[in-house]
Amino acid sequence: MKSKAEKKVQVRNAFLASVVSIVISAGAALVAGFVLKLGVLCSILVFAIVFALTLAALIYVWKTTDLIRKILYLLYCIKHPAKSRRFYCSCCNRTLEGFIELGYSKDSERFDSKRFMKQKQDVICPFCYSAPRQRIQAVWLEANMSTVKDSRILCFAPEYSMMKWFRRNGIKVTTADLFDSKAELKLDITNIDLPDESYDVVICNHVLEHVSSYENALTELNRILVDKGLLIVSFPLDEGLDTVFEQEASTPEYRIRLFGQVDHVRIFGRDSAEILTSFGFDVQAINISEMPENILPVVGPADYDSNQIYICRKVLNE
């Protein structure tokens, strides 16, 4: 389910694509009517056909290539000269004047606005929509390229920003999701239909707070990794909690009140590294204080977005 903020971006993109299609098809209809003298009906037909073809082409190019984003970034760079672009998105490799707010805090149907009040909201990349945690992960991957290069990588619930990082570095990733039809594999993370030791690296960002049993998920993630394989994992983490907080919550309103987001069923606490260790991993937390300031490694946009990412190496079986 998409948030209001994400739907707003989709509506804006659809509006822009429609305007461009109308301008191009109106031009074609004018040529048909006044230059080729094809008559009113034919001109209307030309308008309709060119509009449909242009819109379809724009949607195809947007979904399958980075061309339109490249054009938009070129226009952005003309408007914002290099010296004003002090920030950097490590996912899409673009310098920026600043990050943007997507309005999650105002989406009361999905989020608890109180959990956003004390955090910085303008933390999203305007081009690949990366949040701080994805940019932190991209910086870590860049510095640890040998761990992912030439590895079999499985990514649950793939985020566009992370896939962008892998694509631009020429690294193949297999994507998996239980509900997203665009993912290559349809997998239930609590009961993964894959053989033991199938992958060298598994990436699992913000999935464990949604599933029925995080214990089953971690057992399965450990099972499908080779010995010494890596699990790169992150989830909502509230530094104010001693341990993971979960409770039966059958209504959306109650889940928002308890966990801050309508589709969350738990929040993790300060003992997250110990929990991961107990499932058979050597656990290292990425040190956020070592991150470059221009990727804006802050907590946010919600207070449970601590942006802590764990690098978990499967302990060698005795």
Q: By the criterion CB under 5 A, which residues form the site for Zn ion?
A: 89, 91-92, 125, 127-128, 130
Shortest distance in whole angstroms from residue 128 CB to Zn ion: 3
Of 135 and 255, which has the nearer Cβ to Zn ion? 135
Q: Cβ closer to Zn ion: 128 or 267?
A: 128
Half-sphere exposure (Cβ direction) of 239: Cα atoms closer than 13 Å: 8
Pick from 244, 233, 211, 240: nearest CA to 284: 233
SS3 153: strand
User: Closest approach of Cβ 53 to Zn ion, in Å?
Assistant: 30
Which lies closer to Zn ion via its Cβ, residue 92 or residue 296?
A: 92
**In the complex, what is the shortest distance from the CB of residue 94 to Zn ion, in angstroms, rounded to a whole number?**
6
In terms of CB distance, is 45 or 163 closer to Zn ion? 163
Contact 33, 40 (CB under 8 A): yes
Q: Name the burial class of residue 106, with classes exposed (0-12), middle (13-18) and buried (19+) by CB atoms within 10 angstroms of its CB.
A: middle
Q: How far apart are CA 135 and CA 115, in angstroms?
A: 22
Min separation Cβ 262 and Zn ion, Å? 26
CB of 77 to Zn ion, least distance (A): 14
Q: Report d(CA 265, CA 215) in Å as an integer.
A: 13
Task: Give me the helix-helix angle, 40-64 and 67-79, nearest 10°.
Answer: 90
List helix spans (H) across 65-192: 67-79, 132-143, 145-148, 160-168
Q: Which residues pair with 35 in a beta bridge?
A: none
Question: Residue 165 or 235: which CB sits closer to Zn ion?
Answer: 165
Of 235, 234, 12, nearest to 103 by C-alpha is: 12
Give the Cα separation of 288 and 137 in Å (integer). Answer: 10
- 111 versus 127: smaller Cβ distance to Zn ion: 127
Beta carbon nearer to Zn ion, 104 or 127: 127
CB of 88 to Zn ion, least distance (A): 9
CB of 313 to Zn ion, least distance (A): 28
Asked whether 204 and 233 are in contact (CB, 8 A), the reply is yes
